[in-house]
Amino acid sequence: MDTIQIIETGDGSHTLLNTTLNETYHSRHGALRESEHVFIQHGLQHWLDTHPSASSIRILEVGLGTGLNAWLTVREAKKLPATQFYYTSLEPYPLAAEVIAQLNYTQQMNEADMISYFDDIHQADWHKDVPLLSNFTLHKQQSTLQDFADTQGYDLIYFDAFAPNKQPELWELPMLEKSVSLLKPRGVWVTYSAKGQLKRDLKSLGLTVKTLPGPPGKAEMVRASSIA
């Protein structure tokens, strides 16, 4: 059975350590900074900037984990009431409520109007569409990527699995190919990893791959785009 420990990261926000894998859910250099840099700035904001006339966006997250990426995405959706957000998150091993209750993201962010949404994410029913805002619908799927099936396609994929050396099956070509197959034309696939094999595999799947500066403590990250 996995044992979970709470750790304070470099920016004061929490991450979790899975002691079985000896792997953290977020960067030890700063959980909030990593999520904002990789998934919000270089994922969501990039997609919005390159699709200025879009009235909706469908996002798939591989690895709900602490809910931090989903929560930060709700924060962005609140700023864009004219854009409909449809957010699907996969998590085969949900965290216990007592662990979630100890996470300090809402205190670190110090935005009173965002506090309730963190609880809403974790209390939302699984396998159902749950509206968190008038323009944000959450769908949590207690499923692995391997078992996930969807025919609608996604504009943006947050690939936030455990590291390649800890969860290698998700970073090998068959699962990368599956995730890429879920992208819509002009879709964006983004992750914190910048392994050479990952970049080669994404290119072999027909994506345009860009290496970007990473968050604090990490030199690089990857964003890949499907061809229109």
Give per-residue pLDDT as tens, 177-191: 999 999 999 999 999
Residue 151 pLDDT class (50, 70, 90 cuts): confident
Using the predicted structure, report yes or no on whether residue 228 has a pLDDT greater than 80. Answer: no
- Of the chain, the percentage scoring pLDDT greater than 90 comes to 94
Please give the pLDDT value at position 110.
Answer: 86
Instruction: Read off the pLDDT band of 227 (50, 70, 90).
Output: confident
Confidence category of residue 2, pLDDT binned at 50, 70, 90: low
pLDDT digits (tens, 9 = 90+) for 23-37: 999 999 999 999 999
- Could you name the CATH architecture of 32-96+110-225? 3-Layer(aba) Sandwich (3.40)
CA distances to 35, 62, 156, 171 from 128, rounded to whole Å, are 25, 17, 20, 28
Collapsing DSSP states into helix, strand and coil, what is residue 14? strand
What is the pLDDT, as a whole number, of residue 60? 99
- Residue 119, Ramachandran bin (φ over 0: left; ψ between -120 and 50: alpha; else beta): alpha
Query: What's phi and psi for 159, nearest 5 deg?
Result: -95, 95
Half-sphere exposure (CA, 13 Å, Cβ side) for 45?
Answer: 12
Confidence of residue 43 (pLDDT cuts 50, 70, 90): very high
pLDDT of residue 192: 97
Question: Tens of pLDDT along 72-110?
Answer: 999 999 999 999 999 999 999 999 999 999 999 999 998
Answer yes or no: are the C-beta atoms of 14 and 8 closer than 8 Å: yes
Domains of the chain, by residue range, sit at 32-96+110-225
